[in-house]
Amino acid sequence: MPVPTDATGAVFIRQQDSEVHLDGKGQLLYSGYRVRILHPSALQIGNISLAWNPAAGAPTVHVIRIHREGQVIDVLQAASFEILRREDQLEAARLDGNLTAVLRVPDLRVGDELEFGATIRTTDPTLGKDDAGLLLLGGEPASGRYHLRLSWEARDRPAIKMTPDMAAVAQEGANAVDYRFDNPAALAPPKDAPPRYMWQRVVEYSSFADWQGISRRFAPLFARASDLKAGSPLKAEAARIMAAKAQPLERAAAALKLVQQDVRYIYVGLNGGNLSPATAEETWQRRYGDCKAKTVLLLALLHEMGIEAQAVLVNNGGNDDGLDERLPSPRMFDHVLVRATLEGKAYWLDGTLPAVVPPAPEPVMPYEWVLALSAQGSPLERLAWKPADRPDQLSLFEIDAREGFDKPARITNTTIKRGINGLQQEVQLSAATPAQLLSAFRQNAIGDTWQTIEDVKWRYDQKAQASVLTIIGTGMVDWDDQGGGSKGLALPGGGFNPPEKRLRAAEQDQDLPFYNKPEFDCRITTVRLPATTKPGQWSHKDDIDTRMFGRNYYRAFDLRDGALRMVRGSRIEQKEVPAATARHDNDRIARFDNSMAWITYDPAGTTPPPRAPRPVPATYEIDWSADHVPCLASMGQ
């Protein structure tokens, strides 16, 4: 494509080709381009990198040239690739065996055109000629000409599914389909729509007829890898667990802890192992493995103890919304774990998680779609979603100001984290000594809130499945002088920002639902009031209990026993809000109570605040890590 005289941006794409060819060995991936460099920031495209699995064969580099004012410079005459054999993700505990070749194009200048073309074969030993993949054009490509092509041998035609924007330009032939774009427009996905609506300018292809076929393909791999030979040391491990534990749930928990704690996680993709699992006995011998290896090891132990269990493919990246609308593809999954039947109920067991996570009725990650592996072939399965029963995070703030307005208050701050955030904190803090924790917080936290830090306590509560961190110290309370001896204090974490309007640009579909990422946050603040004051001298802002855009906003106060207590809860109760509901709530935003959680002292006051409609417990009165805590009006103590 000719370069316009008024071309702007970093580059102009004179031609870019992305082609996939399917044959009896797998896939050939061709990438080629000729790019005019318009800005110094684009010179980095001269750092060319190729990565491939040597088991599938070496890549073929067809051309690297510089076009400069009618002159053609063959880069490969003066420069060559350097092959890096170092594992580039060792720090992430990954061994994949891939090679990387790099070439730094010499003497590349602004105004030059860089031409490149290379083909890489991808062949997965597990899948053979069967596979699936995507062709896509990004939402904001640089100006220029683009060509995407999917082709196949006559006997290897895949199923193909295109988004409407690709179907509109598809040029279909007998053994290929082409997509051509000149200066493609920028595409913005529908604002705040559920993730499945983010798919734009995508072509899917798959040689699998259905999801059951993928389930059938992988099930024998895990069955064979988990089959134990006579005399296997794992049989002795299973016998030891059975002798020590009487109930199936206890035995499953012991087996899971063994896999989590005694086998370290390392991703192993060597020799085509990115889809095929290592055997249970191999993993036990070397005491490391990835999610597939840990799943196989766990299956072997459970089956040896007579516990029904199966491997289940999932997506840990949170990219499974709308998976039922996609073509069947094993590439849609990035993790595998175990689902076992214990005492008539289904439990999830993940050998890659820390050893504090037991078998649970629900997986730690919020999966939407899963694929169980079975010999007969299981269909894609949807996991039901409901609003969280327990907060993901609780923040408790206790301010003991009984000594008076002008004295430092004793402060106790506790955070309780669940789910992945809680487990991340467990990994970070479990190896630290109490002295190290105290030193770190004294070094980093003393400032606006804290004058002194006396103690730092941390524990992981396995019953509550929560990381609990408590900081105890002193600090000055920022009382606001309101004149005449009156004081005010905005309680930390007590206010709500008003929600934003849920609107979309006029050219976007106005009837799509709006998406809320599920969360449940609870904040509890208790102020032990100065001993010289009386209840009638105190007042507070109004309570809040409203629902808007699928979220429940709740705040309640309670004054008794010399302490002013506040609880503030915020929970997503609808993941997808219908457009009509969003339009209705847009009109309600002006009436939203976004007041900060002010409490006020008036020395002339004589009337105590009205009795709270329901008691609010103080930070020190109940176990806030328990299952049922009053963070919303609908939740009791």
What is the 3 state secondary structure string of 421-484? HHHHHHHHHCCCCHHHHHHHHHHHCECCCECEEEEEEEEEECCCCEEEEEEEEEECCCCEEEEC
Is the pLDDT at 273 greater than 70? The verdict is no
Report how far residue 408's alpha carbon sits from residue 609's, in angstroms, rounded to the nearest whole number. 26
The CA-based dihedral angle spanning residues 296, 299, 301, 307, taken in that order and rounded to the nearest 10 degrees: 180
Q: Is the pTM of this model over 0.75?
A: yes
Give me the CATH topology for the region 480-495+510-616: Jelly Rolls (2.60.120)
Give me the CATH topology for the region 211-382: C8orf32 fold (3.10.620)
Report how far residue 351's alpha carbon sits from residue 261's, in angstroms, rounded to the nearest whole number. 9
DSSP bridge partners of 48: 103
Check: CB of residue 57 under 8 Å from CB of residue 108.
no
H/E element, 32: strand 26-37
* CA dihedral (12, 120, 77, 105) positive or negative: positive
Report how far residue 242's alpha carbon sits from residue 115's, in angstroms, rounded to the nearest whole number. 65
Is the pLDDT at 491 greater than 90? The verdict is yes
Report how far residue 601's alpha carbon sits from residue 406's, in angstroms, rounded to the nearest whole number. 14
How far does Cα 215 stand from its chain's mean position?
24
Region for 271 from its dihedrals, namely left if φ exceeds 0, alpha if ψ lies in -120 to 50, beta otherwise: left
Query: Tens digit of pLDDT for each residue in 27-68?
Result: 999 999 999 999 999 999 999 999 888 877 889 999 999 999
Report how far residue 573's alpha carbon sits from residue 199's, in angstroms, rounded to the nearest whole number. 25
Report how far residue 261's alpha carbon sits from residue 501's, in angstroms, rounded to the nearest whole number. 47
Strands ordered across the beta sheet of 159-162: 132-136, 202-206, 159-162
User: Which of 72-86, 136-150, 450-464, 482-496 is predicted with the least confidence, judged by mean pLDDT?
Assistant: 72-86
Report how far residue 457's alpha carbon sits from residue 434's, in angstroms, rounded to the nearest whole number. 7
Block residue for tokens 């900060």: 596
Report how far residue 301's alpha carbon sits from residue 253's, in angstroms, rounded to the nearest whole number. 11
* CA dihedral (154, 160, 166, 167) positive or negative: positive
For 84, residues 6+ apart whose C-beta sits below 8 A from its C-beta are 99, 100, 101, 102
For the chain, give every domain's residue range: 11-206, 211-382, 480-495+510-616
Report how far residue 146's alpha carbon sits from residue 159's, in angstroms, rounded to the nearest whole number. 23
The encoded tokens of residue 511 equal 């009837």
The gap between the terminal CA atoms of the chain, to the nearest Å, is 69
How far does Cα 235 stand from its chain's mean position?
36
From residue 310, alpha-carbon distances to 228, 318, 338, 346, 428 in Å are 16, 22, 6, 11, 31
DSSP bridge partners of 515: 576
Block residue for tokens 């629902």: 547
Report how far residue 96's alpha carbon sits from residue 107's, in angstroms, rounded to the nearest whole number. 34
Is the pLDDT at 448 greater than 80? The verdict is no
Q: Helix 248-262 crosses helix 291-304 at what angle (to 10 degrees)?
A: 150
Supply the DSSP string of 243-292, one letter for each residue.
HH--SHHHHHHHHHHHHHHHSEE-EE-GGGTTTSPPPHHHHHHHTEE-HH
Q: Helix 233-244 crosses helix 248-262 at what angle (to 10 degrees)?
A: 130
Nearest to 449, CA basis, from 492, 484, 481, 488: 492
Is the pLDDT at 546 greater than 50? The verdict is yes
For 324, residues 6+ apart whose C-beta sits below 8 A from its C-beta are 369, 380, 382
What type of residue is 423?
L
What type of residue is 587?
D
Collapse the DSSP code of 152 into the 3-class scheme (helix H, G, I; strand E, B; otherwise coil) and give the result. strand
The encoded tokens of residue 599 equal 């409490």
For 255, residues 6+ apart whose C-beta sits below 8 A from its C-beta are 238, 241, 298, 301, 302, 305
User: Which of 442-446, 467-471, 500-504 is predicted with the least confidence, judged by mean pLDDT?
Assistant: 442-446
Give the phi and the psi of residue 187 in degrees, each rounded to 5: -115, 125
Residue 614: count of CB within 10 angstroms of its CB: 12
Is the pLDDT at 559 greater than 50? The verdict is yes
* CA dihedral (119, 124, 129, 131) positive or negative: negative
- Higher per-residue confidence, 447 vs 41: 41
Report how far residue 514's alpha carbon sits from residue 576's, in angstroms, rounded to the nearest whole number. 5
At residue 96, the pLDDT reads 62
Is the pLDDT at 94 greater than 70? The verdict is no
H/E element, 240: helix 233-244
Is the pLDDT at 91 greater than 50? The verdict is no
Mean pLDDT of the chain: 93
Query: Tens digit of pLDDT for each residue in 386-414?
Result: 999 999 999 999 999 999 999 999 999 99
Length of the chain: 637
Is the pLDDT at 25 greater than 90? The verdict is no
Report how far residue 283's alpha carbon sits from residue 603's, in angstroms, rounded to the nearest whole number. 71
User: Which of 119-123, 502-506, 590-594 is predicted with the least confidence, judged by mean pLDDT?
Assistant: 119-123
At residue 93, the pLDDT reads 52
Give me the CATH topology for the region 11-206: Immunoglobulin-like (2.60.40)
Is the pLDDT at 92 greater than 70? The verdict is no
Nearest to 64, CA basis, from 76, 72, 48: 76
Report how far residue 116's alpha carbon sits from residue 491's, in angstroms, rounded to the nearest whole number. 61
**What pairing do the DSSP bridges indicate for beta strands 144-152 and 11-23?**
parallel
At residue 88, the pLDDT reads 47
Query: Tens digit of pLDDT for each residue in 624-633?
Result: 999 989 999 9
Q: Count H helices, E strands: the chain?
A: 9, 37
